[in-house]
C-alpha cells in the first residue's frame, strides 16, 4: 500500500482537518496531552501526518516531502507554489484587506507606505490600481505599524475584525476572500492518484456535511 503523506498546518485549522480525516476513516493514532511529535502515522499505514508551520505547507508539498497539504489561499497567492489546488475546504474563511486608522485619507500625491507580511499580494494589488507604494515587510503584529506611523496602511488577514477594532483601526478595502485549500504535489497526483483522490473525496464530503 502507498502511504499518503499529508502536511497539516499547526493550529486550530489543522486540528479540524485531522478530525475530519479521522471521521472519514483515515484514522490517526492516539495523541497524548502536550504531544510534541511532528509526525503521526495511522496504524494501517495508509496515511502519515506532518505538523508544519502554516506558511511552510506549500513548500513541503511543492518539493514532494508531503504528497498533499492544507494551505491558506493567502499563502498560495503570496508564494505561487507549483502545486495543484484540488479543493476549497470552505473553512478557515477570512479575507485579505487593506486597513488603516479611522481618519486615514489617501493622499495620492505621496507614495503610500504599506506594512505587510504579504509583499507580493500587496504589490500586485496596488500595481493594478497604478498606485505608487513603499512596502514595509514585517513578520507579525502588523497592526502596530500605522499606530506608530511606521506605515500609512496595512495589508493583512481580517477574520473577525477584532484585532483591528481593538487597535483603533478599520478595514478600508477587501483585496481577496481567503479560505483553506487542499493542495497536491504534481508528481504525487500522478503516481499516487488513487490514494490522493480518496483523501480528497473524503474531505470534500466532510466539508459539505459541515456547511
Chain residues in the site for ligand PRP (CB under 6 A): 140, 142, 156-163
Q: Which helix (H) or strand (E) holds 182?
A: strand 180-184
CB of 11 to ligand PRP, least distance (A): 8
CB 93, CB 179: distance < 8 Å: yes
CB of 196 to ligand PRP, least distance (A): 28
Residue with Cβ nearer ligand PRP (62 or 156): 156
CA distances from 125 to 88, 133, 152, 155, 159 (A): 22, 10, 16, 10, 19
Q: C-alpha angle 120/124/130, rounded to 5°?
A: 140
| Residue ranges in 82-161 assigned as alpha helix (H) | 119-129, 144-147
Residue with Cβ nearer ligand PRP (34 or 160): 160
Residue with Cβ nearer ligand PRP (33 or 162): 162
CB 54, CB 1: distance < 8 Å: no
CB of 190 to ligand PRP, least distance (A): 33
Residue with Cβ nearer ligand PRP (27 or 167): 167
Residue with Cβ nearer ligand PRP (18 or 164): 164
CB of 131 to ligand PRP, least distance (A): 22
**Helices and strands per DSSP (H, E), number in the chain:** 8, 11
CB of 158 to ligand PRP, least distance (A): 5
Amino acid at each position: 500500500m502507498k502511504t499518503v503523506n499529508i502536511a497539516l498546518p499547526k493550529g486550530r485549522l489543522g486540528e479540524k482537518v485531522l478530525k475530519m480525516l479521522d471521521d472519514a476513516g483515515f484514522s490517526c493514532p492516539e495523541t497524548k496531552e502536550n504531544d510534541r511529535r511532528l509526525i503521526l502515522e495511522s496504524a494501517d499505514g495508509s496515511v502519515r501526518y506532518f505538523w508544519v508551520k502554516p506558511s511552510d505547507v506549500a513548500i513541503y508539498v511543492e518539493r514532494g516531502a508531503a504528497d498533499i497539504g492544507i494551505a491558506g489561499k493567502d499563502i498560495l497567492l503570496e508564494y505561487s507554489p507549483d502545486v495543484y489546488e484540488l479543493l476549497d475546504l470552505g473553512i478557515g474563511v477570512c479575507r485579505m484587506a487593506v486597513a488603516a486608522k479611522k481618519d486615514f485619507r489617501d493622499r495620492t500625491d505621496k507614495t503610500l507606505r504599506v506594512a505587510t507580511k504579504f509583499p507580493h499580494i500587496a504589490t500586485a494589488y496596488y500595481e493594478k490600481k497604478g498606485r505608487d507604494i513603499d512596502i514595509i515587510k514585517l513578520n507579525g503584529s502588523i497592526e502596530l505599524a500605522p499606530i506608530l506611523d511606521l506605515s500609512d496602511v496595512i495589508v493583512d488577514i481580517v477574520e473577525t475584525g477584532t484585532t483591528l477594532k481593538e487597535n483603533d483601526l478599520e478595514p478600508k478595502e477587501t483585496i481577496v476572500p481567503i479560505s483553506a485549500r487542499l493542495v497536491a504535489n504534481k508528481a504525487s497526483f500522478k503516481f499516487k492518484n488513487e490514494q490522493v483522490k480518496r483523501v480528497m473525496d473524503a474531505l470534500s464530503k466532510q466539508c459539505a456535511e459541515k456547511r
